[in-house]
């Protein structure tokens, strides 16, 4: 079996007693190194799409930048896997103490540093946005219907920016944290106001995911997957409504249920 030029792979498939040889799309995984002000900053293993969104969102999530105009120039060499960013400012020593880190596409211990950079950038959310349970179901179904790369490969996570009524933008990546960084980068570059927006998400709600939602300033996170206990503690502390296991016609509201209309009316989840 040999790989093809892009993301197709020749496979042998067994289905019951039958056997067939066919081409199947697989998710692309590629390392990209960020060179910041001439110094190697980090290497991210990601799906090589929407790379500028990813880089800008990652730098914002790390507290390196807050606004797009802090970037003087950015160039991306997709073939070699390098991105070169020049800022309009000099970085503080504390912002460089994690240079040359390796950021894996997997979850958990691939990012051991969030207490260094996230504590100063995470913020308490005061969003007044509310949503109904039926709107949650509709948005999750829309995310799944529009998740083209997942339907092709089954190997990516999806993060979407949405209003109560519709999905606005979707970003995909093999790493759930990368998908959120891509979304954040899109928001920063387009100066999108987030007070009336929520994030619809395919992945597990981990502490890292929750902190990224906080940094973006979004008050509602709707996911089809499970949360962790630390993520829920952070959501409770930071004023974020965490909704998980949104599948079919059921969901769980874990924190700040006042933003979900039915839960708020009944004073119970």
Active site residues: 107
Question: Is residue 111 within 8 Å of 61, Cβ to Cβ?
Answer: no
DSSP class of residue 69 equals: G
Question: Is residue 111 within 8 Å of 103, Cβ to Cβ?
Answer: yes
Exposed/middle/buried for 70, CB within 10 Å: 0-12, 13-18, 19+?
Answer: middle
DSSP class of residue 145 equals: H
Query: How is 172-202 classified by DSSP, letter by letter?
Result: EESSHHHHHHHHHHHHHHHT---TT-EEEES
C-alpha closest to that of 56 among 181, 178, 158: 181
Q: Report the run of H or E that residue 206 belongs to, with start and end.
A: none
CA atoms within 13 A on the CB side of 24: 15
Neighbouring CB atoms inside 10 A of 15's CB total 7
Q: Report the run of H or E that residue 212 belongs to, with start and end.
A: helix 207-216
From residue 14, give the alpha-carbon distance in Å to each of 4, 7, 20. Answer: 21, 21, 7
Q: Phi and psi at residue 77, in whole multiples of 5°?
A: -105, 95
Question: Is residue 203 within 8 Å of 173, Cβ to Cβ?
Answer: no
């Amino acid at each position: 079996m040999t790989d093809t030029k892009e993301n197709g792979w020749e496979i042998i498939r067994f289905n019951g007693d039958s056997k067939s040889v066919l081409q199947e799309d697989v998710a692309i995984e590629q390392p990209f190194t960020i060179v910041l002000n001439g110094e190697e900053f980090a290497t991210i293993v990601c799906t090589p799409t929407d790379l500028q969104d990813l880089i800008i969102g990652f730098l914002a999530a790390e507290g390196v930048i807050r606004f797009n105009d802090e970037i003087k120039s950015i160039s991306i060499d997709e073939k070699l896997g390098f991105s070169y960013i020049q800022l309009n400012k000099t970085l503080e020593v504390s912002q460089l103490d994690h240079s040359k880190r390796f950021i894996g596409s997997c979850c958990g211990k691939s990012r051991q540093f969030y207490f260094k950079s996230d504590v100063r950038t995470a913020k308490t959310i005061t969003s007044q946005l509310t949503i109904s349970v039926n709107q949650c179901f509709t948005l999750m179904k829309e995310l799944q219907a529009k998740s083209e790369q997942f339907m092709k490969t089954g190997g990516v996570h999806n993060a979407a920016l949405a209003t109560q009524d519709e999905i606005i933008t979707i970003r995909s990546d093999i790493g759930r944290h990368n998908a959120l960084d891509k979304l954040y980068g899109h928001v920063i570059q387009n100066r999108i106001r987030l007070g009336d927006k929520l994030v619809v998400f395919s992945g597990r709600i981990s502490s890292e995911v929750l902190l990224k939602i906080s940094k973006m300033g979004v008050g509602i996170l709707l996911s089809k997957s499970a949360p962790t206990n630390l993520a829920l503690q952070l959501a409770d502390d930071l004023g974020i409504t965490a909704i998980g296991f949104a599948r079919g016609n059921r969901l769980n509201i874990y924190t700040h249920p006042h933003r979900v209309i039915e839960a708020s009316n009944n004073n119970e989840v």
